Structure 1
Amino acid sequence: MAVYILSNRKIIRHKGERVDSFSNEEYSIPNFRIAKCDFENYKEPTAQAKKKKDYTNRNILHYKLLSEPEKQGYEEVLDVLLSEKGIKSSPLTANNLGGTQRMFYELYKNMSSTKDRSDVLIFIHGYLYDFDDELKAILDLKKVFIDNPASPVEHILFVSWPASGSIIPLSYFDDKASSINSGTSLVRLFYFYTQFLKDIFSNRDLAPCNQRIHLMAHSLGNRVLQSMLYSLKRENILRVIDQVLLLNADVSYKVFEDSEDSFNKLPLLANRISIYLNRQDIILGASQFTKNILTPRLGKNGPSDIAHYKDIVSVIDCTFVKDDLLDSFKYEVGNHWGYLSSSQVQKDIFQNLYGIDRNLITSRSKDSENVFTIIS
């Protein structure tokens, strides 16, 4: 099990600490840095600890930034892997690897060491998260997707982008701009991953691990994904993702149209795309009427036209689900966090991640060829 943070937040050193940390500031840097979370000595904080003013940064969850690689590319990763197999002699070890080299190496080693499902979930968070909020969200995601035996996920890559922690109205537009910048940075990470695949598996002595990688974006995190897709050139896209789950997406309902030239690239990237929507989503309703010039939101209204992609893209209506896991005012009123608050939505997501045929996923009614409603 491994959880990594991929962040383009500013790097700072907190007072009294000897190591670099990610900042809570609403400021992005051009490149993503990578950190690995440490759960070995993790203890669930008490309610009293959570109220303390020092319940920030590593007091929430310990993590360590990976060193930057001394050399770009993945030839050194290949040397280490072949050396470990006794195929090639090399003075290099895993300790010589940094950044994406170290992360991809560790994931490949872990995922290829088992015959059981050991999937990776890439998660892009939404609006109104400072870094401390992100650390708390990582703990929630671990409980739902790693600790739960009903889930095939064993590893999480948490995409941390510098959203605002403020609830003032203008912070939405700050977050929207930041999501665009972060999506552009995320493109580079995608190209690093495809280069890793080419460099490693061009060698016949190394076999793919046959595990799956999934991508999940919630709320304004879909805007980060859209920005990445804008920048991706079709001829460079490889189908390296199994399932893409778009949760309560705060993007235009027209994103799959060719004129948008963004989400219409997803079928080139993934085997299946699922749009989870809630027609009573209060958060997206406010987004539509106060911030997006009355443009219907994908996660509330569904897509305008996906006829070309109906074999790959599914719409899952979560309007009638029960929020039986989290009962705070935020979750009861917002109808925006079903993946955390509803056991029905979670059960549907797990079946999706396992790759069960969309027509065979339980507790769904079929409204049309590719439109479903989750029922009790």
Structure 2
Amino acid sequence: MSVFILSNRKIVRHQGEKLDSFSNDEYSIPNFRIAKCNFENYKEPTAQAKKKKNYTNRNILDYQLFSEPEKQGYQDVLDVLLSEKGIKKSALTANNLGGSQRMFYELYKEMSSTKERSDVLIFIHGYAYDFDDELQAMIDLKKLFIDNPESPVEHILFVSWPASSSIVPLTYFDDKASSINSGTSLLRLFYFYTQFLKDIFSNRDLAPCNQRIHLMAHSMGNRVLQSMLYSLKKENILRVIDQVLLLNSDVTYKVFEDSEDSFNKLPLLANRISIYLNRKDTILGISQFTKNILTPRLGKNGPSDIEKFKDIVSIIDCTFIENDLKNSLKFEIGNHWGYLSSSQVQRDIFQNLYGVDRNLITHRAKDNENIFTIIS
């Protein structure tokens, strides 16, 4: 089990501390830095502990930043893996690996060591998250996807990007500039991953782990994904993602059209794309009427035209779900966080991640060949 943080937040060292940390500042740097979360000694904090002023950063969840790699590429990873198999002598060990080298090495080792499902979930969060909020979200996601036996996920890559923060849940900020910068950084990481696959599996002594990688983007996190897709050349796309889940997406409903040149690339990247929408989503209603010149949002209205993608893209209508897991005012009025607030949505997501045929996923009503409504 692993939870990694991929962040283009500013790196700081707090007074009296010996380790570098990610900052809460709403400021992005050009490159992602990578850290690994430590759950070994994690204890659920009491309500009293959460009220203390020092309940921040590593007091929420411990993590360790990986060093930057000494050189680019993945030849060192290949040397370490072959050395561990006794195929090639090398003075290098895993401790010599940094950044994405270390993350890909650890994931490959863990995912190839079992015949059971050991999937990876890449998660891109939405608006109004400072870094402390993100750490709490990582804890929640671990409980939901790793600790839950109904889920095939064993590893999470949490994409941390410096969105604006607010103590008022329904206050909406436009983070376009930050999401564009973060999407560019995510694109660089995607190219690193495809290079890793080429460098490692060109060697016949190393076999693919045959596990699956999924991508989930919530709300404005879809803008980060959109920014990445804008710059991704179709000729460079490899189908390396199994399931893409677009949750309450705060992007225009036209993103799958060729004129947008963004989400129309997803069918080249993934085996299946699922759009989870809620027609009562208040947050996306605010976004549409105050920030986006009355442009309907994908996560509230659905896509304008996906006729040519209907074999790959599914629309899942969550308008009639119950918020039975989290029923505070934020969740009841917002209708924006179904993946956290509704057991019905979670059940649907788990079946999606397992790759169940979309026509066989339970508790769905079929509206047409690729549009479904979640029912009780």
Kindly report structure 1 stretches of 4+ aligned residues shifted beyond 6 Å.
168-171
**In 2, Cα distance between equivalents of 1:46 and 1:339:** 25
Confirm whether residue 75 of structure 1 aligns to residue 75 of structure 2: yes
- Aligned position for 1:106: 106
Structure-to-structure mapping, 1:66-145, within 5 angstroms: 66-145=66-145
**In 2, Cα distance between equivalents of 1:209 and 1:6:** 22
Change (3 A) 1:133 1:146: same
Question: How far is the alpha carbon of 1:116 from its aligned partner?
Answer: 0.3
**In 2, Cα distance between equivalents of 1:170 and 1:8:** 24
User: Which amino acid in 2 is paired with 1:88?
Assistant: K
- Aligned position for 1:154: 154
User: Which amino acid in 2 is paired with 1:142?
Assistant: K
Is the Cα contact below 8 Å between 2:172 and 2:283 reproduced in 1?
A: no
**In 2, Cα distance between equivalents of 1:178 and 1:258:** 24
- Aligned position for 1:193: 193
Question: How far is the alpha carbon of 1:166 from its aligned partner?
Answer: 2.8
Cα RMSD after superposing both structures: 1.1
**In 2, Cα distance between equivalents of 1:99 and 1:181:** 19
Cα deviation per residue 1:242-281 (whole Å; 9 max; x = unaligned)? 0000000000000000000000000000000000000000
Cα deviation per residue 1:185-214 (whole Å; 9 max; x = unaligned)? 110000000000000000000000000000
The 3-state SS of whatever aligns with 2:173 is: helix
Structure 1 unaligned spans of 5+: none
Change (3 A) 1:110 1:216: same
**In 2, Cα distance between equivalents of 1:117 and 1:351:** 13
Question: How far is the alpha carbon of 1:170 from its aligned partner?
Answer: 9.4
Structure-to-structure mapping, 1:217-232, within 5 angstroms: 217-232=217-232
- Aligned position for 2:250: 250
User: Which amino acid in 1 is paired with 2:140?
Assistant: D
- Aligned position for 2:311: 311
Structure-to-structure mapping, 1:168-187, within 5 angstroms: 172-173=173-174, 175-187=175-187
- Aligned position for 1:299: 299
- Aligned position for 1:238: 238
**In 2, Cα distance between equivalents of 1:333 and 1:7:** 31
**In 2, Cα distance between equivalents of 1:14 and 1:107:** 30
- Aligned position for 2:23: 23
**In 1, Cα distance between equivalents of 2:145 and 2:251:** 25
- Aligned position for 1:321: 321
Structure-to-structure mapping, 1:292-371, within 5 angstroms: 292-371=292-371
Cα deviation per residue 1:288-323 (whole Å; 9 max; x = unaligned)? 011100000000000000001000000000000110
Question: How far is the alpha carbon of 1:327 from its aligned partner?
Answer: 1.5
User: Which amino acid in 1 is paired with 2:205?
Assistant: D
Cα deviation per residue 1:340-364 (whole Å; 9 max; x = unaligned)? 0000000000000000000000000
**In 1, Cα distance between equivalents of 2:144 and 2:172:** 29
User: Which amino acid in 2 is paired with 1:294?
Assistant: L
Question: How far is the alpha carbon of 1:40 from its aligned partner?
Answer: 0.2
Structure 2 unaligned spans of 5+: none
Question: How far is the alpha carbon of 1:324 from its aligned partner?
Answer: 0.5
**In 1, Cα distance between equivalents of 2:144 and 2:68:** 31
Number of aligned residues = 375
**In 1, Cα distance between equivalents of 2:211 and 2:296:** 36
**In 2, Cα distance between equivalents of 1:306 and 1:368:** 13
Question: How far is the alpha carbon of 1:328 from its aligned partner?
Answer: 1.3
Cα deviation per residue 1:32-77 (whole Å; 9 max; x = unaligned)? 0000000000000001111111110001000000011001100000
Change (3 A) 1:359 1:2: same
**In 2, Cα distance between equivalents of 1:306 and 1:192:** 30
Question: How far is the alpha carbon of 1:167 from its aligned partner?
Answer: 5.8
User: Which amino acid in 2 is paired with 1:210?
Assistant: N
**In 2, Cα distance between equivalents of 1:172 and 1:334:** 15
The 3-state SS of whatever aligns with 1:325 is: coil
The 3-state SS of whatever aligns with 1:349 is: helix
Structure-to-structure mapping, 1:255-274, within 5 angstroms: 255-274=255-274
**In 1, Cα distance between equivalents of 2:219 and 2:15:** 33
Is the Cα contact below 8 Å between 2:172 and 2:287 reproduced in 1?
A: no
Change (3 A) 1:170 1:142: closer
- Aligned position for 1:288: 288
**In 1, Cα distance between equivalents of 2:336 and 2:229:** 24
**In 2, Cα distance between equivalents of 1:92 and 1:71:** 13
The 3-state SS of whatever aligns with 1:30 is: strand
Change (3 A) 1:62 1:244: same
TM-score after normalising by structure 1: 0.99
- Aligned position for 1:204: 204
